[in-house]
């Protein structure tokens, strides 16, 4: 399974705090975050690296950025990534007063939210059938911020509203873990910025429960190592790390993205981990609307209208993905699987058109969005950076149609399907 340009290369730069972020749309932001460890820091300001040209315009720099991302795309697939089937994760965010500390810029809180968003995106990319729920620790209680969901948009929406998540009060590990534990959750990831926890009972009881339920807890601490955090991770087989700086924080967090089976290869295989590739039987259900006559669901025995029908035995189940309670078939919704297919069949890269060939009668407009192309090459004097067409034309090698720069970016970053050839 091939990886594409969307995957940040952080996994390869473990330990070295250079989070080179491959994502195009946070390009500007991530540039500011690229920096070495604090002790080897040469203080770089991102705005110094942007050079104006003679005319005082930033156009050349912008073009350069585009060219760089194009080149990265052309280099293309590198490592193979294996995607897991079903994973349930609860992400616990520390929303206590200690998150307003400014030792990580701009604040721990803002940085955490930004990385949490990237984490969620990346996580769903690699675990298409997974589900994420979000719990916050604030004012001594655990707070449900996002319901467990398999739709990245829902999860992102839950953590997009900053004003609703304003840090306050003390965190409580026990309350948050208890809240996250309700239901069948396999993994808990905690981002912890505080040095205290105020719990109503004995947190070691909670820990024992987690060990019993085979819940894996991982903690990324932002302040310092706490014994209880370390113990949570060690006893449940999770990972523990203290972030040294912004880049290292991201590394620690993103190390938790690859599925446990992959990480368990080095260790003894974890609970339920099956490293061997296999062929699985799955069924795609039919969804019943809320207006259908109620039926007894096979999983809880409750009378419900909404639900999914197992394609093999026609039993009604409440939610997918799941195993059918009657015939044991794994029932998944096919869009969940399809979410990762653009990795398998990426759109072909377009190449930049350097000069127009009059004989081929070039089209006057972009084949996709019908925006007119510019007539002549812009800025004849400007240094022609490779990968950028002076005419703003990018051509698909399969269907030989021309596309504008916006559509080129859109097709390869979002759409993953060429409008000209449909592949």
Partner 1 sequence: MDKPSHLSIVLDLSPKQWHLAAQPGSPHPITLATFLSHLLAFLNAHIACKDENSLAIFGALPGKSILLYSSAAPVDDGDTEPADANTYRPFKLMDSIIMKSITREIDALGEPETEEPIGFVGALTKALCYINRVTTSNTTSGDRGVDPATLPDPRILIISVSPDQSSSYISVMNSIFSAQKLASFDLFYQKVTIDVCKIFGAESVFLQQAAHLTGGSYIDVDRPDALLQYLMMSFLAPPGLRQLITVPTQDKIDFRAACFCHKNIVDIAFICSVCLSIFCSPVPVCSTCRTKFPIKTLQRLNASRPNTTPGTPRPPTPANSLPRSTSIAPQSLPRSTSIVPQSLPRNASNGASTLR
Which residues between 149 and 178 bind partner 1 (CB under 8 A)?
Answer: 153, 156-157, 160
| Cβ 98 to partner 1 shortest distance, Å | 27
Q: Which is nearer to partner 1, 242 or 407 (CB)?
A: 407
Integer distance in angstroms from the first to the last C-alpha of the chain? Answer: 18
Cα angle, residue 169 at apex, residues 220 and 102 outer, rounded to 5°: 55
Using alpha carbons only, give the angle 83, 84, 90 rounded to the nearest 5 degrees: 120
One of 292, 348, 385, 398 touching partner 1 (CB under 8 A): 292
Number of chain residues interacting with partner 1 (CB under 8 A): 78
Residue 219 interacting with partner 1 (CB under 8 A): no
Q: Is residue 419 close enough to count as binding partner 1 by CB under 8 A?
A: yes
Member of 260, 349, 405, 412 binding partner 1 (CB under 8 A): 405
By CB under 8 A, the residues from 368 to 397 that bind partner 1 are 368-371, 392
Q: How far is the CB of 238 from partner 1 (least distance, A)?
A: 24
Instruction: Identify the residue among 140, 169, 258, 295 touching partner 1 (CB under 8 A).
Output: 295
Cβ proximity to partner 1, 244 vs 264, nearer residue: 264
Which residue number, 213 or 406, has a Cβ lying nearer to partner 1?
Answer: 406
| CA-wise closest residue to 154 among 133, 125, 181 | 133
Q: Between β-strands 187-192 and 216-221, what pairing exists: parallel, antiparallel or unpaired?
A: parallel
CA distance 34 to 49: 12
- Closest CB to partner 1 among residues 23, 230: 23
| Cα separation, 268 vs 182, whole angstroms | 28
Applying CB under 8 A, among 211, 337, 382, 384 the residue interacting with partner 1 is 337
Positive or negative: CA dihedral 201, 203, 204, 206? positive
The correct pick among 20, 230, 244, 410 for binding partner 1 (CB under 8 A) is 410
Rg (CA), the chain: 25
Q: Closest distance between partner 1 and the C-beta of residue 1, in Å? A: 4
Q: Is the peptide bond before 348 cis (omega within 30 degrees of 0)?
A: no
Between 140 and 295, CB nearer to partner 1: 295
- In the window 54-113, what residues touch partner 1 (CB under 8 A)? 59, 62, 66, 80, 82-83, 85
118 close to 29: Cβ distance less than 8 angstroms: no
Q: Does 411 contact partner 1 by CB under 8 A?
A: yes
At closest approach, how far in Å is the CB of 346 from partner 1?
Answer: 10
The residue from 128, 130, 237, 241 that contacts partner 1 (CB under 8 A) is 128
Q: Does residue 259 belong to the site contacting partner 1 (CB under 8 A)?
A: no
Hey, is 49 helix, strand or coil?
A: helix
Distance CA 341, CA 4 (A): 11
For residue 6, the Cα-to-chain-centroid distance in whole angstroms is 10
Partners of residue 89 on adjacent β-strands: 132, 187
Contacts (CB under 8 A) with partner 1, residues 316-335: 316, 327, 329, 333-335
Q: Is the peptide bond before 418 cis (omega within 30 degrees of 0)?
A: no
Which residues face 352 on adjacent strands?
A: 394
**363 contributes a contact to partner 1 by CB under 8 A:** no
Selected from 12, 16, 25, 164, the binder of partner 1 by CB under 8 A is 25
Contacting residues for 76 by C-beta, under 8 A, at least 6 apart = 4, 5, 346, 349
Q: Please say which residue, 190 or 329, places its beta carbon nearer to partner 1.
A: 329
Nearer to partner 1, 25 or 102 (CB): 25
8 Å CB contact between 99 and 193:
yes
């Amino acid at each position: 399974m091939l990886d594409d340009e969307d995957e940040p290369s952080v996994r390869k730069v473990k330990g070295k705090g250079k989070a080179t972020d491959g994502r195009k749309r946070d390009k500007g932001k991530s540039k500011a975050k690229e920096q070495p460890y604090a002790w080897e820091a040469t203080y770089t300001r991102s705005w110094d690296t942007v050079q104006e040209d003679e005319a005082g315009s930033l156009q050349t720099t912008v073009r350069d950025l585009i060219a760089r991302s194009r080149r990265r795309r052309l280099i293309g697939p590198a490592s193979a990534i294996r995607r897991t089937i079903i994973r349930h994760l609860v992400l616990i965010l520390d929303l206590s007063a200690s998150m307003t500390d400014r030792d990580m810029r701009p604040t721990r809180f803002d940085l955490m939210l930004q990385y949490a968003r990237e984490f969620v995106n990346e996580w769903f990319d690699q675990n298409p059938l997974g589900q994420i729920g979000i719990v916050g620790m604030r004012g001594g209680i655990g707070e449900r911020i996002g319901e467990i969901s398999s739709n990245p948009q829902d999860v992102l929406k839950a953590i997009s509203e900053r004003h609703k998540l304003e840090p306050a009060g003390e965190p409580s590990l026990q309350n948050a873990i208890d809240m996250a534990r309700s239901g069948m959750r396999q993994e808990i990831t905690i981002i912890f910025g505080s040095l205290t926890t105020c719990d109503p009972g004995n947190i070691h009881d909670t820990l024992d429960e987690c060990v019993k339920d085979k819940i894996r807890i991982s903690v990324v601490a932002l302040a310092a190592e706490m014994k209880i955090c370390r113990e949570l991770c060690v006893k449940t087989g999770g990972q523990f790390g203290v972030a040294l700086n912004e880049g290292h924080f991201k590394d620690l967090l993103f190390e938790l993205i690859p599925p446990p089976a992959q990480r368990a290869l080095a260790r003894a295989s974890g609970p339920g981990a099956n490293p061997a590739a296999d062929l699985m039987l799955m069924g795609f259900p039919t969804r019943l609307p809320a207006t259908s006559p109620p039926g007894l669901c096979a999983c809880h025995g409750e009378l419900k209208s909404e639900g999914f029908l197992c394609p093999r035995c026609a039993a009604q189940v409440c939610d997918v993905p799941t195993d059918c309670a009657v015939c044991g078939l794994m029932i998944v919704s096919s869009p969940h699987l399809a979410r990762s297919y653009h990795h398998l069949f990426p759109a072909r890269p377009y190449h930049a058109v350097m000069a127009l060939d009059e004989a081929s009668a070039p089209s006057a407009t972009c084949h996709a969005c019908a925006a007119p192309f510019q007539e002549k090459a812009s800025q004849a004097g400007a240094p022609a950076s490779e990968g950028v067409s002076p005419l703003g034309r990018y051509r698909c090698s399969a269907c030989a149609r021309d596309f504008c720069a916006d559509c080129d970016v859109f097709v390869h970053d979002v759409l993953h399907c060429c409008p000209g050839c449909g592949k």
